[in-house]
Amino acid sequence: MQKTYDITLKFLSGKFPEHFVSLIFDEFEGDVMPLDKELPYSGHDSDYVVKIEDRRADCEDDKFILHIEFQSTRDSNMPRRMMSYYARIVDKYGLPVYPVVIYLNSDNFGPNTPDTYVNSIYNEDIMKFKYRVLKVWEMDPKMIIDKDLYGLFPILPLTNHGNTNDNKCLEACFDLVQNADIKDEALKADMSVCTGVLAGLRYPKELVKSLMKVEIMQESVIYQDILNEGIEKGKKEGMEKGMEESIIYVLSARFGNISANMIDMIHHIRNKSRLNELLKLAATSRTITEFEQKIRTA
């Protein structure tokens, strides 16, 4: 599922780079220039890389690069990964780098979160590299809402809402997105889908689905990208495990637990072209009931 969140957050940070800078630096005043995220000597792109030019006269560090990586789960290799990113960004752009990891989900988190890479030989510190860690579930949602950082509204479901009722809290988050001061309705639809994707990290799938309007999803480019990603993953899984397993995988990812009867029906289909059709249906059906009706009437 990490790939789905990557698509969502790379989309948002690409559309609203200034809002992500404001999340890291209070009272920022300056220019933000997105940079090429492909780094040398690696097949992996970074999540977010922008050049910062601070316009304040008393600012000594007026030009530097902000690098952000988004993580839905804890990664024990994060210090080494961030150190590697840092070295390659400096190598490519020749500017100081401010590195940040933003964690989205509190699952599997202990009391301490690594934020330092240390290379020691014979008790001598050869290199010590540090980066900043932000945990979304510890953030006060007001810091985003009060500044009207609407590009960050989709992460609001993951922020600290105290003991607020889940249904009311999530409904308020979707309302904020829909009422954001954005004239581009297609972009607003994309943001609504992003809100639903990220909310799935914390809230029950059925609750998220009940608040997402079908007509909005159909208008969203980012939703189509996510569906295509699911289809491609399903095809890959199909080559490795069998196409029927791919269909079950996509259905489970979208709708939760699948009934034993449904699984049995899928496993009894042997026609390859029919299985290909069902894989597309698994990715595009609005509900599991709609999928079941189609598989029974075909």
Of 92, 123, 138, the residue that ends a domain is: 138
What is the tally of structural domains in the chain?
3
Q: What is the DSSP secondary structure assignment for residue 73, as one 8-state letter?
A: S
Q: Identify the pLDDT of residue 29.
A: 82
The domain in which residue 83 lies consists of: 2-138
* DSSP summary character for residue 146: T
Mean pLDDT, residues 174-184: 91
The tens digit of pLDDT for each residue in 215-268 reads 676 667 677 666 666 556 555 555 445 677 778 877 877 777 777 778 877 877
Q: What is the pLDDT of residues 14-55, one digit of tens each?
A: 899 999 999 998 878 888 998 887 766 655 678 899 999 987
Q: Are residues 170 and 208 in the same domain?
A: yes
Q: Read off the pTM.
A: 0.72
* The one-letter amino acid at 109: F
Residues 99-118 have pLDDT tens digits of 999 999 887 676 778 899 99
For the chain, the average pLDDT equals: 83
| Cα separations in angstroms, 146 against 22, 55, 83, 123 | 12, 23, 34, 48
For residues 127 and 163, state if they share a domain.
Answer: no
What is d(CA 150, CA 245) in angstroms, rounded to the nearest whole number? 39
Are 209 and 226 found together in one domain? no
The answer on 81 and 10 residing in a single domain is yes
**Does residue 168 or residue 260 have the better pLDDT?**
168
Lookup result for tokens 């980066």: 131
Residues 46 and 110 in one domain: yes
pLDDT value at 167 more than 60? yes
pLDDT at 129 over 90: yes
Of the residues 172, 201, 219, the one at which a domain ends: 219
Shared domain check, 163 and 258: no
Q: 224 Cβ partners below 8 Å, 6+ apart?
A: none
DSSP code for 77? T
Among 89, 114, 138, where does a domain finish? 138
